[in-house]
A = this chain, B = another copy of it.
């Protein structure tokens, strides 16, 4: 092999961590992002441009051996232009499926997976029908472009539905039943195709706690039965096969009364897989790069049995206090602080659940003491 270059659409922390993981494989990275401050610029060349500038995008990918993204809402017209030049993975099918919440839910149903009751909302009349059919409480979400709790409103009373819809712009939405759940879990999985043969692997199921709609902690393995964990893994395999998926992806589930209800998928490396940087034999970032380059996957097995991650949100800590705990693995993204913005995370590993919970509490305490 001569040297490979991978182009990444988006230059945020995911792009940065992809490059940090892929560089040791002898791969070079370049990034495309609308912001000249995109934090991945520390680990590769950054091209600044807008997502609809197909010419700039084509110049950017010229000379790339593969292209992937950390920002999945690249306009279809730009992807058309890119795909005429270079292999872009994950595929259009995966993007199109996951970027539209209605299409995504129907796809999950076609895979035989349980979803919460939902209805399509394209008009005020449809909203009334949706709320009547699905019931309250429910949650109204924009069909496209939502993340980290943005573009969502909870509807507790049918009479408040119209104003909730108007407050998110009266754009096309999905209305879902608000499922009372015991746990939120996610599976991060990888699929590659090497010389026509597909290879699939998944990391242990993660258990997620959100705060203000933003992921706060992930603990793995999730405290669920082996049967449920296996069911999640099987779901990921089915989804990957149906989409002929290449790369790493995540599926989020609710666990309600011992039943796995699929919530949504992300066609990229995922925040709930950040623990894999030190915690797994091969990180989600390395496996994603391997897959988009057509290389075999590395092992998804954890090194120590218990692993956790806590996000750093809204502030940039001084590292002294965090690094004073010799077991804390700090990951800062080189981003300025802003309310609700993820600026880093801390990973911890342990031999037992109890030791992990202790380490995680220490990490959270260190974070609280680091001007954060």
Contacts and interface: CB of A to CB of B under 8 A. Distances in A.
A24 interface: yes
A297 B295 CA distance: 35
Given A1-B318, A326-B296, A43 B26 contact: no
B319 A297 contact: no
A324 B194 CA distance: 10
Contacts of A331: 24
A324 B296 CA distance: 6
Contacts of A42: 23, 28-29, 43-44
A326 B297 contact: yes
A293 to B, nearest CB: 9
Nearest to A293: B319
B298 A323 contact: yes
Contacts of A124: none
A332 B25 contact: yes
Given A26-B332, A43-B23, A44-B42, A295 B319 contact: yes
Given A1-B319, A20-B24, A298-B326, 20 more contacts: A23-B43, A24-B277, A25-B323, A26-B319, A26-B334, A28-B42, A29-B42, A42-B43, A42-B44, A43-B43, A281-B326, A281-B327, A282-B329, A295-B319, A295-B320, A296-B320, A297-B326, A298-B329, A303-B303, A303-B349
A371 to B, nearest CB: 9
Contact of A24 (B26, B318, B332, B349): B332
Interface of A: 1, 3, 16, 20, 23-26, 28-29, 42-44, 194, 277-278, 281-282, 290, 295-299, 303-304, 316, 318-320, 323-324, 326-334, 344, 349
A295 B318 CA distance: 10
Contact of A330 (B25, B328, B344): B25
Contacts of A296: 320, 323-324, 326
Contact of A299 (B26, B28, B282, B326): B326
A331 B22 CA distance: 10
Contact of A25 (B1, B290, B319): B319
A320 B320 CA distance: 40
Given A281-B326, A326-B281, A326-B296, A316 B43 contact: no
Contacts of A329: 24, 281-282, 298
A7 to B, nearest CB: 15
Nearest to A21: B20
Nearest to A335: B26
A1 B320 contact: yes
Nearest to A195: B320
Contacts of A28: 42, 334
Contacts of A25: 319, 323, 330, 332
A308 to B, nearest CB: 15
